[in-house]
Amino acid sequence: MTLEDPAGHLLSIQSYLLEEEKHHPEATGRLTWILSSITLASKYIAARCRMARLEDVLGSLDSENVQGEVQQKLDVIANETLLRALGKRAGLAIVASEENEEPIILHTSSDPERPYIALFDPLDGSSNIDVCGGVGTIFSILHHDRRANPTENAVMQPGTRQVAAGYVLYGPSTILVLTTGNGVQMFVLDPSIGTYLLVDRDVKIPQNSKSYSVNEAYANSFPEGYQKYLAWAHDNNYSSRYAGAMVADLHRILLKGGVFLYPPTQSSPKGKLRLMYEANPMAMIIEQAGGKSFCGTTRTMEVQPENVHDRVSVVIGSPDEVDRVQDYLE
């Protein structure tokens, strides 16, 4: 791992994005500006997470989001921060958040100067903040289909049409993992200069690892295939690692290998992860790193959304471990 690019220079995320533009003569710079907005918002969110106890923004509000979930104070702060950072950004036609009922239409005409859609989960695992656990932001960028009618239907695209995806993990350090379809790059925020620096190019997930991540409290209500896999994993001395935040769990799997499971249950027969805000962007990252992701037995990024808040089950991680789970599901 290195902080330097091949020429021996420190490389910021802005420099990296400008470097990538050189490989795409058709690039207009709009995607770079959108991603820069997300990095700006993430710096503010990271600061609020660090100061949460001192600023008295721990705990929940007396409100629920569109999912019927009690909102944490930092959920609202993170959501408003991203909306403010992206709302006036050139190039964006639509912004959609897990916390909002409907996508926000920034421009109603078929303006070719606004070719992108941004979707995000502003603070994944937000309840972990109260106990100083890992939380994160997940984001996805799509092309805007200007033929969609009504306009908000432009969001309903499978994950294969993503042009970029990433996540930010707020922990002992603030880490940004990004793909624009050309491998996976990892950056770390240097708070002393306020800049994300490239620390690892073309991150590759290990082919296999004897570890899994799942909330086993619900194991009795998992479908039989998942239960059989877990029994096999126990018999073969697999380690269980579960942090309660998809970003934290999948970041570990990206670096160390293993498989993340979020099975359907009796109370949530379709699963509980949001396809557009969580499953698709994470699937793009893991696939770009050499891993696999499935919703049941269907490749995650090939699932056609019917609603912007569709929920799914997920099996994602090292290719060998995902294949092993799939064998039990099939």
Domain spans of the chain, in order of start: 13-200, 211-329
114 to each of 84, 126, 142, 143, 197, how far by Cα in Å? Answer: 17, 31, 11, 9, 28
The CATH code of domain 13-200 reads 3.30.540.10
Query: Which tops the pLDDT comparison, 212 or 152?
Result: 212
Q: How far apart are CA 327 and CA 269, in angstroms?
A: 20
Task: Report residue 13 CA to chain centroid gap.
Answer: 18
Average pLDDT score over the chain: 90
For the segment 11-26, the average pLDDT, to the nearest whole number, is 87
* Structure-token pair, residue 29: 């710079």
- pLDDT for the residue numbered 1: 44
Q: 């420190």: which residue's tokens?
A: 10
pLDDT digits (tens, 9 = 90+) for 28-52: 889 999 999 999 999 999 999 887 7
As a whole number of Å, the end-to-end CA separation of the chain is 39
Band (pLDDT 50/70/90 cuts) for residue 73 is confident
pTM tops 0.95: no
Nearest-angstrom CA–CA distance, 156 and 161: 10
Question: Mean per-residue pLDDT for 134-140?
Answer: 95
Region 175-180 average pLDDT: 97
Per-residue confidence (pLDDT) for residue 24, from 0 to 100: 74
Instruction: Tell me whether residue 105 is exposed, middle or buried, using C-beta atoms within 10 angstroms of its C-beta: 0 to 12, 13 to 18, 19 or more.
Output: middle
Least confident of 42-51, 205-214, 224-233: 42-51
Least confident of 37-41, 51-55, 101-105, 270-274: 51-55
Percent above pLDDT 70 for the chain = 90
What pLDDT, on the 0 to 100 scale, is given for residue 25? 73
User: Is residue 107 pLDDT above 80, yes or no?
Assistant: no
Answer whether residue 244 shows pLDDT above 80. yes
pLDDT of 56 higher than 90: no
**Residue 324 predicted with pLDDT over 80:** yes
- Collapse the DSSP code of 118 into the 3-class scheme (helix H, G, I; strand E, B; otherwise coil) and give the result: strand
Rounded Cα distance between 157 and 190, Å, is: 35
Q: Which pLDDT score, from 0 to 100, does residue 147 have? A: 77
**What is the assigned CATH class of domain 211-329?**
alpha beta
Mean pLDDT within 101-126: 84
Is the pLDDT score of 216 beyond 70?
A: yes
Residue 295's H or E segment, with its range, is strand 292-295
Q: Tell me which residue has tokens 């993503």.
A: 162
DSSP states of 11-47 as a string? -BHHHHHHHHHTT-TT--SHHHHHHHHHHHHHHHHHH
Q: Does the pLDDT at position 70 exceed 60?
A: no
Report residue 12: phi and psi, to 5°: -80, 165
